[in-house]
A and B are shown apart, each in its own frame.
Chain A
Amino acid sequence: MQPTDDEDRAALARLAAGDRGALSGLVARHQDALFRFLRRLSSDSASAEDALQETFVSVYRHASHFRGEGSVRGWMFAIARRQAALGRRRHVGEPAQHESLETLGLEAGWGEDGRALLDRLADQQAVGRALGRLSDEEQEILLLHDVEGLSGSETATALELSVSAMKSRLHRARLRLAGALEKGGRDGRGS
């Protein structure tokens, strides 16, 4: 749990009691991280901004619904994720195709000398591009856990999953990312 969670909980309690001024601390602490997350999941900056506004409006209106489990940050990311899904007009919990871990591992370059992957890693933008080629479901878990640094339990909260289901999805998403990097290398430019 991150150190600001106590402040976040206090702010939510004030919001739930009708003190709208308590929003400003939450906004200051989380607007950039939520915006980055939404920007990645939205087609453009304006949609991301709309989703960000609706996220904080929802935090304000539903402050009393926070059940106190997990962090406030994880709960807010769950709201943001639903807002992003509304913007995309698509079902939130769309199941990913289930390739075996072995297949994912081989596609990610297990058992090869891995030079393609190393070449891709030398390119600063390659990881961002490879990330963009993954499904929304894969992107969001990597954004939450590995980019924004949410803990395992916060990520599980944000995705409304059990911790063990979250871990399994995270692992598959990382393998898919490494696979997308490999593939980008083999295809040449791989934009």
Chain B
Amino acid sequence: MAEDREVAGIRCFEVLGRLSDYLDGELEAAARRQIDAHLAGCTWCEQFGGHMGQVVGRLRAERDGLKLDEAGAKRLAERLAGLK
């Protein structure tokens, strides 16, 4: 059973709390290095961080495929052309 523990001077649940900033490259170098060290020594966080990274990466693909269709674009243009 996994539990919150301290590795490299930082606890799992603190790593969990900073994971988005870590994945987004928003952490300062020292904080980033500390989390790198925790991940290197903690299987649970290393695995979870990898999965979260994949989930976030996959969201980007949701952008593909959906566009305003031609008829919708035409209706929009007509609506805007009628504005006073």
Contacts and interface: CB of A to CB of B under 8 A. Distances in A.
A181 B48 CA distance: 13
Nearest to A53: B79
A60 interface: yes
Contact of B67 (A32, A121, A128, A131): A32
Interface centre among B54, B58, B67 (most CB of A within 10 A): B58
A49 B58 contact: no
A57 interface: yes
B56 interface: yes
Nearest to B75: A49
Nearest to B20: A171
Interface residues of B, number: 39
Main secondary structure of the interface of B (DSSP, over half): helix
Contacts of A148: 63
A24 B26 CA distance: 35
Contacts of B31: none
Interface string B46-84: 011001101110111111001110001101110110010
B48 A114 contact: yes
A99 to B, nearest CB: 13
B59 A52 contact: no
A43 B17 CA distance: 33
Given A105-B48, A117-B51, A131 B62 contact: yes
B52 A174 contact: yes
Contacts of B73: 31
B10 interface: no
